[in-house]
Amino acid sequence: MPLSNRKTLTQYLIEQRRRFPGASGELNALILDVALACKAIARSVAFGALGDPSTRQLAVANGGDDLGGSTNVQGEVQQPLDIVSNEIFIRTTEWSGHLAGMASEEMDAPRQIPATFKRGKYLLVFDPLDGSSNIDVNVSVGSIFSILRAPTDVVDSARDVTEADFLQPGAAQVAAGYAIYGPTAILVLTVGDGVAGFTLDPNLGEFKLTHPDIRVPAETQEFAINTSNSRFWEPPIKRYVDECLAGRTGVRGKDFNMRWIASMVAEAHRILMRGGVFMYPRDTKDPAKPGRLRLLYECNPVGFIMEQAGGRASTGRQPVLGVKPSALHQRIGIVFGSAQEVERIERYHHERMPVEVESPLFATRGLFRD
């Protein structure tokens, strides 16, 4: 089929909306604004070391500079493009009247919609640039977003949003997606009816439906984990990885490949395309950080996409989407991808910790059965 005959993102969203005859179209409009942000970020990323002349002012005005970055609330180095991407998200979405507020990896507290704009019924949570430490080495990066309903009293009173308004479990997400800026820019989206992928047509600047019903293969022979952390892993993860490494000579009876891009969006995309399992589990490296990835704007959206694609996302102990968040920038252990592998890893956790839930008892070894 020639590319020109493919559905656009707009067409896909309108067709999805027909499932809900009462829908106002606000969610679709918001998703299209987010898609516009992703196109703008794709463009900025493509300038690389040249620097995008159209966004340099944005970076400088927001605390970055042309050469280096600043530091975000989590003490991580912000690349100039982290800051630019954050500003692009804000500017393309805050004016629309669809948002009650937003939150981002790059902002300490929730961002209020300025009084000059109408406030709406959705909350937008995002990681404007995931994997940004890979920018300098020209490896794929991405943006991740999650859309939640604002609590009714926020909508009714149009009051300012608070951190608590965002602390909803992933199961409450209305839509989620990511854009990957690789050899091509691809937007992957779920509005709760499967997962679809759209490739950015560089001629038209439009996202076109190229991956209509993405399904994660249930079985895999590929796993992804940062093995430099292996001495900090908990026993169930050690067991799983050891069994993969033993390959056909071990209990799995087959050889595995390992991958690590250090860009979760890129790992999630590979897994959606050809299966696999990704692990950034809870470990004992830093007791203040039970996991590396952030629940609200990394784990929940990717978890929603995986589940909608027939895969699975888990903390090892419970489904990611069932975790009640306790803080905006909360980190959590995550395992996602091919359902059978994630189930196996969950089983290994449950065999050691039959009654455990995500709790402040983290790292209390007395809970282990053996």
Residues near ligand AHG (CB under 6 A): 76, 105, 127, 130-133, 226, 262-264, 292
Choose the one of Mn ion, ligand AHG, none that binds residue 263, judging by a C-beta under 5 to 8 angstroms depending on kind. Answer: ligand AHG
Using the minimum distance from each CB to ligand AHG, give the nearer residue, 117 or 260: 260
Pairing of strands 99-104, 111-112: antiparallel
Beta strands (DSSP E) in the chain are 70-71, 77-78, 99-104, 111-112, 122-130, 141-149, 175-181, 185-190, 196-201, 206-211, 222-224, 257-259, 277-280, 293-294, 312-314, 331-332, 334-337
Answer yes or no whether residue 105 interacts with Mn ion by CB under 5 A.
Answer: yes
Choose the one of Mn ion, ligand AHG, none that binds residue 363, judging by a C-beta under 5 to 8 angstroms depending on kind. Answer: none
Choose the one of ligand AHG, Mn ion, none that binds residue 262, judging by a C-beta under 5 to 8 angstroms depending on kind. Answer: ligand AHG
Using the minimum distance from each CB to ligand AHG, give the nearer residue, 256 or 278: 278
Tell the smallest beta-carbon distance from residue 168 to Mn ion (Å): 20
Q: Which of residues 118-157 bind Mn ion (CB under 5 A)?
A: 127, 129-130
Q: Candidates 99-107, 165-173, 239-247, 359-367: pick the segment binding Mn ion (CB under 5 A).
A: 99-107
Torsion sign, CA atoms 99, 314, 73, 144? negative
Buried b / exposed e across 343-358, counting CB within 10 Å, b at 16+? Answer: ebbbebbbebbeebeb
Tell the smallest beta-carbon distance from residue 261 to ligand AHG (Å): 7
Residue among 263, 264, 270, 273 at smallest CA distance from 211: 273
Residue among 84, 312, 113 at smallest CA distance from 219: 312
x/- track of binding to Mn ion for residues 3-22 (CB under 5 A): --------------------
CB of 294 within 8 A of CB of 335?
A: no
Tell the smallest beta-carbon distance from residue 304 to ligand AHG (Å): 17
Tell the smallest beta-carbon distance from residue 132 to ligand AHG (Å): 4
Residue among 242, 241, 209 at smallest CA distance from 35: 209
Tell the smallest beta-carbon distance from residue 294 to ligand AHG (Å): 8
Residues forming the site for Mn ion (CB under 5 A): 105, 127, 129-130
